Amino acid sequence: MKIVIPDGDTLALPDMRKQIEHEFSRFGQVICNGTTKPEEVAEKIADADIVLCNKTPITREVIEKCKNLKYIGLFATGYNNIDIQSATEKNITVCNAGEYSTYGVVQHTFALLLDLAGNMPKYHNAVKSGEWERSPVFSYFPYPVHELYGKIFGIIGYGSIGKRVAKVAEAFGMQVIINTRTIPENCEYQFVSQEEIFKHADIISIHCPLTEQTENLICQKTLALMKPTAYLINTARGGIVCEQDLANALNQDKLAGAGVDVLAQEPMSPDTPLKTAKNCLITPHIAWSAVETRDRLIKIVVNNLECYLNGKPVNQVN
């Protein structure tokens, strides 16, 4: 049985590929490629029985050329890079990895927020440049620092990540309000309309999927509803935010700050408007990438494959 991984570099540094290969070697021969260009996918996986991938596009055209392919395992929760209909027509089982990144994303959400509320990047740079050394008093605080206690924390999207974010926000002493597509039963937090969450929240944290309904949800119209003292955090998907509108709001002091781990184009385009926007923290899509998170992800994908080979597939999406 031949197992091909077309994008191993999305999961680990090159010197860690051997570890990934070892995890799956008990199931068959493993070929782990670092990266694969879209035009090379069909060639790289042509004779594979099993493909394990993260973001590599497996299109109908590719599937038609893969005569042995029986199983696609995703190192991801999302599966929009797979032509599910074509896979189903060819009796190819597709399984994803759900909820592996919850703890890492929650942690990163508050890392971004705490940096913004505490003006940490500015203070770090000030200390490194010697400003504190030249201070006439013991405590050097030219940049405002804000408590989270008592603030209204708005969560858009109330899945597994949104629920855990709510718990942490509550632990900081914040009032949690939520907006989600389906009103959850027996929810301990206040459900509000979309307009209300933008109007009332001091912090808005996005945890919903990217859909036709949520694409460019954060735009000039919704940003205009927010308090000029509010923060926006996005660890979900870049396409949920209209980046030019967010940059305009930040540069015009209509929003206090933003922390984003995802952009509409990744890797980041050199001319993204958020790159030079005021009070905008950008991290390179790393909320999911903690060592422990990736170990958990690999274990889920191994288990998915094992269950499939035992005739009892789990986390199947088609």
Which pLDDT tens digit goes with each residue over 258-301? 999 999 999 999 999 999 999 999 999 999 999 999 999 999 99
pLDDT in tens, 151-176: 999 999 999 999 999 999 999 999 99
pLDDT higher than 80, residue 187: yes
Whether 145 maps to a domain, the answer reads: yes
Same domain, 155 and 215: yes
Whether 317 maps to a domain, the answer reads: no
pLDDT tier at 19 (50, 70, 90 boundaries)? confident
In the structure encoding, which two tokens stand for residue 206, read together? 């996005």
Same domain, 216 and 67: no
Residues 146, 122: contact at Cβ < 8 Å? no
Would you call 43 a catalytic residue per the annotation?
no
Same domain, 106 and 250: yes
Q: Which of 64, 188, 195, 266 is catalytic?
A: 266
Would you call 306 a catalytic residue per the annotation?
no
pLDDT in tens, 43-84: 999 999 999 999 999 999 999 999 999 999 999 998 989 999
pLDDT higher than 80, residue 16: no
pTM over cut 0.85 = yes
Burial track 104-116 (b if 16+ CB lie within 10 A, e otherwise):
bbbebbbbbbebb
> Residue 239: left if φ>0, alpha if ψ -120 to 50, beta else—which one?
alpha
Same domain, 138 and 186: yes
Q: Which of 17, 237, 294, 296 is catalytic?
A: 237
Distance CA 131, CA 175 (A): 36
**DSSP state for residue 150 in the 8-state scheme:** T
Backbone angles phi, psi at 139, to 5 degrees: -115, 125
* Domains contained in the chain, number: 2
Same domain, 178 and 225: yes
- What pLDDT, on a 0 to 100 scale, did the predictor assign at position 228? 98
Same domain, 216 and 228: yes
Q: Which of 108, 200, 285, 296 is catalytic?
A: 285
Would you call 237 a catalytic residue per the annotation?
yes
pLDDT in tens, 80-102: 899 999 999 999 999 999 889 99
Same domain, 84 and 200: no
The whole domain housing 213 covers 102-282
The DSSP element (H or E) to which 280 belongs, if any, is strand 280-282
- What pLDDT, on a 0 to 100 scale, did the predictor assign at position 15? 61
Same domain, 63 and 111: no
Q: What is the dihedral of CA 163, 168, 170, 174, to 10 degrees?
A: -110
